Amino acid sequence: MEPPEAALVPFPPGLTPELMPRHVAFIMDGNSRWAKERGLPTSAGHEAGYRSLREIVRLSSYWGIKVLTVFAFSSENWLRPKTEVDFLMRLFEGVIRENLEDFKRQGIRLCIIGDATKLPPSLQKLAMEAAEVTRENAVIELLVAVSYSGRSDIVQACQKIAQRVKDGTLEPADITEAVIEEELVTNCIINSPYPDLLIRTSGELRLSNFLLWQSAYSELYFSKSLWPDFGEAEYVDALSSFQQRQRRFGLRT
């Protein structure tokens, strides 16, 4: 199944459809800096960042990428000024509400990952509703990491495992990395649970506590563009770089 408008978007020259990554992850960095450089409030940067995300989702679904995971809000971001945090929570809610019909129509399966307990109750409810409504969609899976941290993901997986041990359905001796993988929040992904390509914008060269476990074999691509400036040309560059490198896995994958 492909999105209804896919035929209208030409496949970028220089890219090979067969070599496209199945799962791309983004650390969407640079919204605040983008706004600051233009003398705009931080909120304007986040709104511009949302427009960038919408375009990347559109292109990804046209180009046959099956999973997109984006780092929207980290556990550490709760320490930002309250006005900014409140604005972001309202923005997330508005974006989901505004796009839910489009998600259904375009075959986008939405899943919010992270520590939902910290989110405003209205956003928690909406996220669950959106996940339920788009559950059968199969064009592209969009995972939005909100209040997420890679370490916390590992901790909550171990917590669930401890619960299984308590319930008597698992022996401590039987805990392996495969058992942990079953309990990570990315386990909701149907297609490719781990990113083939992880892109970070704004010139920073670190994972910042994002998908620490899942990115072991991800091709890392660091773009100097700030997230609101990251568009089709930059995305094609990242995908070209990915395709040029012969993927070599180690002993285990």
Q: Which residues bind other proteins (CB under 8 A)?
A: 32, 74-77, 79-81, 84, 150-152, 154-155, 158-159, 161-163, 165-166, 172-173, 175-177, 179-180, 205-209, 212-213, 215-221, 245-248, 250-252
Name the minimum Å distance from CB 12 to other proteins: 18
**Residue 80 φ then ψ, to 5°:** -75, 170
Nearest C-alpha neighbor of 46 from the set 82, 81, 79, 73: 73
Sign of the CA dihedral with 136 first, then 139, 142, and 143 last: positive
Query: Strand 219-222 vs strand 197-200: parallel, antiparallel, or unpaired?
Result: parallel
**Residue 154 φ then ψ, to 5°:** -65, -40
Residue 62 or 194: which CB sits closer to other proteins? 194
Name the minimum Å distance from CB 217 to other proteins: 6
Determine whether 167 is an active site residue. no
DSSP structural state of residue 79: G
Name the minimum Å distance from CB 155 to other proteins: 6
- For the stretch 55-61, contacts whose Cβ atoms lie closer than 8 Å and that sit 24 or more positions apart, written own/partner, are 55/231, 55/232, 56/26, 56/230, 56/235, 57/108, 57/140, 57/142, 59/9, 59/232, 59/235, 60/24, 60/140, 61/2, 61/3, 61/6, 61/106, 61/107, 61/108, 61/139, 61/140
Name the minimum Å distance from CB 239 to other proteins: 14
Residue 39 or 250: which CB sits closer to other proteins? 250
**Inter-CA distances, 230 with 45, 68, 246, Å:** 13, 15, 25
Q: Report d(CA 143, CA 70) in Å as an integer.
A: 6
Name the minimum Å distance from CB 190 to other proteins: 22
Residue 128 or 162: which CB sits closer to other proteins? 162
Residue 36 or 54: which CB sits closer to other proteins? 36
Q: Which of 29, 86, 153, 196 is catalytic?
A: 29
Residue 123 or 198: which CB sits closer to other proteins? 198
**Residue 83 φ then ψ, to 5°:** -60, -40
Residues assigned a catalytic role? 29
